[in-house]
Amino acid sequence: MAMKRVWIEEGCIVCNACETTCPEVFNVTEDSCTIRADVREDGKDTTNLSEKSALKGKFGDELADQIEEAAEGCPVEVIKFE
């Protein structure tokens, strides 16, 4: 399944589970988690909640399984995708 977008809704507890599962996409810091700029069409490093920027190039194809696994492993269920 090709994935078009991934974002993080409010409520992230910065547990690092998503970055452990898919470090190419997720970046966890002490107080936030973002979608890495280099995988996004808009090149921003944010939660992608308001932008809903598309994934760049083949990232949606190549990392779809890992992104879905990260979303399923999120203890607070704030990782969303389409």
CATH code of the domain covering residue 58: 3.30.70.20
pLDDT tops 90 at residue 2: no
Residue 20 belongs to a domain: yes
Contact predicate 79/70, CB 8 Å: yes
- Residue 38's alpha-carbon distances to 11, 64, 76, in angstroms, are 24, 16, 25
Residue 76 belongs to a domain: yes
What is the tens place of the pLDDT at every residue in 30-57?
999 999 999 999 999 999 999 999 999 9
Residue 1 belongs to a domain: no
**Category of 58 on φ-ψ map: left (φ > 0), alpha (ψ -120 to 50) or beta:** alpha
pLDDT tops 90 at residue 27: yes
Which pLDDT value is given to residue 68?
Answer: 97
- Percent pLDDT > 90 in the chain is 98
Total number of domains in the chain: 1
Mean pLDDT of 54-64: 96
Full domain range(s) for residue 73: 6-81
DSSP reduced 3-state for 14? coil
